[in-house]
Amino acid sequence: MPYEPNLDSLRAHVVPNWFHDAKFGLMVVWGLFSVPAWAPTTGNLGEVAAEQGWEGLFARNPYAEWYLNSLKHDGSPTQAHHRATYGDAFAYDDFVPLFHDAAARWNPETWGDCFADAGAKYIIFLTKHHDGFLLWNSAHPTPGKRDYQTQRDIPAELGAALRKRNIRLGLYYSGGLDWSFHHPIIRDQASLFACVPQSQAYADHATAHWRELIARYQPDVLWNDIGYPSATNLPELFADYYNAHPDGVINDRFAQEPPSVDPVTEAIVAPPPGAHYDFRTPEYSSYKEIMPFKWESTRGLGFSFSYNQNEGEEYTLSAATLIQTLVDVVSKNGNLLLSFGPMADGTIPPEQADRLAQIGAWLRINGDAIYSTRPWSQSDAVTTDGAQVRFTQKDGAIYATVLGGVLGGTVTITGAPLAGVTGVEWLGHREALDFAHHDGGLQITLPDVGADARAEAAAVSFRLRDGG
């Protein structure tokens, strides 16, 4: 039955199984800002905002993709770096020809191999960030900006590389911010949402882009950011998208209403979700329990979504932390979307390549505990040694993943209803393991593979056959 352009009809859309099954995706954040590739290593977004306030965060923004806004802050580290590196006369738009030259060397097959080896099941490709530069050769160019889009049809080339590897393509588009239309300096949350262009001209521009992107690239995900101009009939756009692509999904960042404001402090509590969405998108955060709705935790490998030349090894999360984050998110009905920030010419920074390779290696052994699973009756437990455990389920089996590896000859999981377990397997090992129900817990005896190998594992997964 076709979808109608109203919320009742749109809310009948069911999140497709492919998105529930995928669990792990990568967001590609690439653009003009990838040329300077610079931001201060201020820290985690939420932590900095809590400690220094939003004004402190925006003055020292760790997101390198926000280079243009950071450049406008007098006395900011980004402004000082820009002047020292490029000089006062060098404008942000002067990065355009440099990016064109660099992007001409990009090889989509290299990315495709990297994404496949990492075990990613979908890619969210950035088509336009807040600066308004377009990462495709649009029939609707940016008004007043010459050559403000790529010369290559990047989403088409990337999509072809992904299809060869059975990886789905989604598209990111900054619908709420476009600094080529409207850019007062963003200093705090209030000025952030006040910066959303509300003219009919911009609403038409953004919607023409979304319709072009949908028709040309058939994206599996519409991943909007910050919000959307109120003068747009979004139910009509969404109905047309679902009717053309019933297995597509839409994120929660199409809000057309102003954010909630604390009546006492006048601080913005949180941006509202869009009136219709298929999944929620907490940023650099997660949920602490199983959620009844589908969600996706999104973050960078460091403090920035895009490549930041200042973020070397010490500022990049360890593979163990990233793997444990993936396991935790999946146990609570979420997907993990990690940001991939290539250099201007598409080169994969070595720290990022290393982390993605390690995640992929872990998933090739433990993927049964992740892909196509669903939350179990509870997400968390602990071992008698104090290690955290996360649960998923699939095909009549329970998967218990112990975070931080397993030390010693036995591991005992407590605090979970596992009395009905009739068999235990260690993923990556063929032999069934000895086990016992001991003092209210499930005690698993491990084969002798060497304590060092167990200690170094980011997480180990067990398949539990439940006869209950």
User: Per-residue pLDDT tens for 99-109?
Assistant: 999 999 999 99
Rounded to 5 degrees, φ, ψ at 6 are -145, 160
Residue 265: the pLDDT is 54
Residue 406: the pLDDT is 75
> Residue 87: which residues within 8 A CB-CB, separation 6 or more?
none
Q: Is a pLDDT exceeding 60 seen at residue 377?
A: yes
Residue 456: the pLDDT is 55
Residue 438: the pLDDT is 84
- Into which CATH architecture does domain 380-466 fall? Sandwich (2.60)
Contact 111, 353 (CB under 8 A): no
User: Per-residue pLDDT tens for 164-197?
Assistant: 999 999 999 999 999 999 999 999 888 888 899 9
Q: What is the CATH number of domain 7-369?
A: 3.20.20.80
Portions of the chain given CATH number 3.20.20.80: 7-369
Contact 101, 344 (CB under 8 A): no
Q: What angle do CA 228, 234, 236 make, to 5 degrees?
A: 160
For 443-449, the CB contacts below 8 A with 24+ separation are 443/410, 443/411, 443/412, 444/410, 444/411, 444/412, 444/413, 445/409, 445/410, 446/406, 446/408, 446/409, 446/410, 446/411, 448/409
Q: Decide: helix, strand or coil at residue 193.
A: helix
Residue 447: the pLDDT is 83
Mean pLDDT of all residues in 344-362:
96
Portions of the chain given CATH number 2.60.40.1180: 380-466
- At residue 161 the predicted structure's pLDDT band, cuts being 50, 70 and 90, is very high
Q: Is a pLDDT exceeding 70 seen at residue 9?
A: yes
What is the DSSP secondary-structure string of 198-263? --HHHHHHHHHHHHHHHHHH--SEEEE-S---TTS-HHHHHHHHHHH-TT-EEBS----SPPEE-T
pTM of the model: 0.95
